[in-house]
Amino acid sequence: MFVSRGLVVGFTVAMAGLVLSGCGTRLNKAPVEDRGTSTSSAPAQPGQPGVVVGTPIKPLPGAENAGKPGYYTVKPGDTLIRIGLESGQSWKDLARWNNLDNANLIEVGQVLRVAPPTAVVAATAVASDNGVVTRPVTSSTVAPAPAASAASTPKPPASVASGTVVAVAPATPAPAAAPAGEDDIAFIWPASGSLIAGFDEARNKGFDIAGKAGEPVLAAADGRVVYAGAGLRGYGNLVILKHNNTFLTAYAHNQSLLVKEDQAVRKGQKIAEMGNTDADRVKLHFEIRRQGKPVDPSRYLPAR
């Protein structure tokens, strides 16, 4: 029987159309479930997870405190150690004040308390003959956080690489707190080498002091070790001392660290040995920070 080529082709095309139509029907039978609780239906941006329809967006911890005095909003690249250095606090205190079980788990946009709970200041309106005057008063509604027990002490965000810590100096009694005149600290030079780079707020937040590997690094004043490790990028093996509620000092690029966190140290005590970790040469990078802000060490160190 003769069948025209046109008839065969037409039949083939019609069958293909029916198959495709059936496939398209099956794909369209999977509707997106909408429970009416979504706060956004925006598509995902490149590199970001999409918003699942039907799932409410959970606010980040502390979001209600954003912008308030004594609080800090986490930015990309932040670590708890860096936030502590920038705010003049110990990372352990920050972890305790913010109930962080794991100091590594902080999120961009999260709001952290960076001032002691008892230091929160509220503005109170006081009536006067000339109108209303505001004056700061210490809040009585915020209780200090309980001291952390040894079992609940948070795990440090980072530690020195194995083999770099060669010794730990014995702990000494904690220095007496200065009730007044906290700016009156008699700092000493932490190393004897020559100054190879001075303070520049934009490019160098302290002094770079030359030396040879293994030369002593000294505590510039009495204080307490609030960090000893290599968890802050750009600083290598680092020691941070807290001297009072105003001042911190930082000692970077060490070959080895000779103190441990929470240890009290005295002015002139050897706390590290000079090295070149995370640096292009052997040197000590030394910073003085006043309430977390780097200041020119020449304003506080004696003339040579």
**Residue 181 confidence (pLDDT):** 59
pLDDT tens digits, 9-29: 455 544 544 444 444 444 333
Residue 241's identity, in one-letter code, is: L
Tens digits of residue pLDDT in 264-293: 999 999 999 999 999 999 999 999 999 999
Q: What is the pTM of this model?
A: 0.63
Tell me the sheet residues that pair with 209. Answer: 195, 284
For the chain, give every domain's residue range.
63-138, 158-299
Question: What is the pLDDT confidence band of residue 61, given thresholds at 50, 70 and 90?
Answer: confident
158-299 homologous superfamily: Glucose Permease (Domain IIA) (2.70.70.10)
Q: Which CATH fold topology does 63-138 show?
A: Membrane-bound Lytic Murein Transglycosylase D; Chain A (3.10.350)
- The tens digit of pLDDT for each residue in 215-230 reads 999 999 999 999 999 9
pLDDT of residue 55: 56
Q: Which residues contact 228 (CB under 8 A, 6 or more apart)?
A: 160, 165, 238, 239, 240, 257, 259, 260, 261
